[in-house]
Amino acid sequence: MPPLEQALHKDRAGFVDAPVQQMPRLTIPPPVNLPGQGTFWNTPSIRSPLPPFNAQIDSLRQFPDGTTDVPKRRVIPLPAALQNAGTSLTAKQLAALNSLVISGSSSGSSSGGGSSTTVSLTAKTVVYSSPLLAPGGVDSQTIVMAKSFQLIAAVASLPCCFRLYGSSASQGSDSSRPPDSPVAAEIANNMVIDGIFDTAPLNMTFQNIVGVNASSPQTTSMFITGINTGTSAASFSVTLVFLPLEQ
């Protein structure tokens, strides 16, 4: 039996090989010179379009500097002057603004009688004390903090777990969850923090934790749960340092 190649080319009567056509080479047209001097070229460092400010279409064009062929500047018009209608600060308002920056308090005056109200941004502390709890024991309490606040730090007397909630319903629904377990989605909506003190020093510092009371009408109560994570019965305390944002 002949090989496959011979069998395919055994009888080719009536067939002719197609002529081999070469593809034409692509030619790139030369770059078009932009308006300018000599061999002025377009710099790849330019970013366009410009940010939204008082600029015209010509602001996107590049211009050479002097007799050089390198673009060095773009023409950007000055922004339009803003109308200043009654927005200037008086000496009293400037003094109040300086007081806000220096001492951390904000002052505002009413337009009618000229009286002022000062809100002092002062950190406060609240202490949670648990009863004697067996290992794994859970205790839930209500503490007074603020309608809204930012947590600054927490210090515990013994290794423990503490949880802070914005509503009593979330606190009750989360009472059976053991430490180091993920928080259910429906509980996380009203949970401020779930912290565990396990190694010394028993303190935490917070940077971006804000708590809000979710009651209607809103109150200054918050809901805290303590869990004994030790191996023997104990009572412990957790001191929370917070900055009231809304009394």
Contacts of 89 (CB under 8 A, 6+ apart): 97
> Are 107 and 134 in a shared domain?
no
Which of 120, 141, 174 corresponds to the end of one domain? 120
- How confident is residue 181, by pLDDT bands cut at 50, 70 and 90? confident
With respect to residue 85, please indicate whether it lies within any of the assigned structural domains.
Answer: no
Top pLDDT among 101 and 223 is at 223
| CATH number for the domain harbouring residue 128 | 2.60.120
Structure confidence at residue 6 (pLDDT): 72
Structure tokens at 222: 């918050």
Q: Which domain holds residue 201?
A: 124-246
| Gap between the Cα atoms of 174 and 182, Å rounded | 11
Q: Which residue has the higher pLDDT, 119 or 85?
A: 119
**Is the model's pLDDT at 36 over the cut of 60?**
no
Name the token pair of 128: 């949670």
Torsion 126-131-134-138 (CA) sign: negative
In this structure, the answer to whether residues 200 and 116 fall within a common structural domain is no
Q: Judging by DSSP bridges, how do beta strands 160-165 and 221-228 pair with one another?
A: antiparallel
Please report which residue ranges of the chain form alpha helices under DSSP H.
4-8, 91-103, 168-173, 185-188
Same domain, 98 and 175: no
Query: Quick check: is 99 in a domain?
Result: yes
Segment 216-230, tens digit of pLDDT: 899 999 999 999 999
Residue 32: band (very low, low, confident or very high) from pLDDT cuts 50, 70, 90? low
Most confident stretch, 15-19, 92-96, 227-231: 227-231
CA-based end-to-end distance of the chain:
100
Element (H, E) at 61: none
Write the pLDDT tens digit of every residue in 6-15.
776 666 666 7
State phi, psi for 159 to the nearest 5 degrees: -60, 130
At 136, phi and psi to the nearest 5? 85, 0
Number of domains making up the chain = 2
Start-end of H helices in 27-90: none
* Helix, strand or coil, per DSSP, at residue 31: coil
Query: Sheet of 160-165: strands edge to edge?
Result: 138-144, 221-228, 160-165, 191-197
Please report which confidence band the pLDDT of residue 61 belongs to, taking 50, 70 and 90 as the band edges: low
The answer on 95 and 155 residing in a single domain is: no
Please check whether residue 137 lies inside any domain of the structure. yes
Give the pLDDT confidence of 149-163 residue by residue, as tens digits: 999 999 999 999 999
Whether residue 241 lies inside any domain: the answer is yes
Whether residue 31 lies inside any domain: the answer is no
Kindly report whether the global pTM for this prediction surpasses the value 0.75.
no
Find the angle CA(137)-CA(236)-CA(246) to the nearest 5 degrees: 100
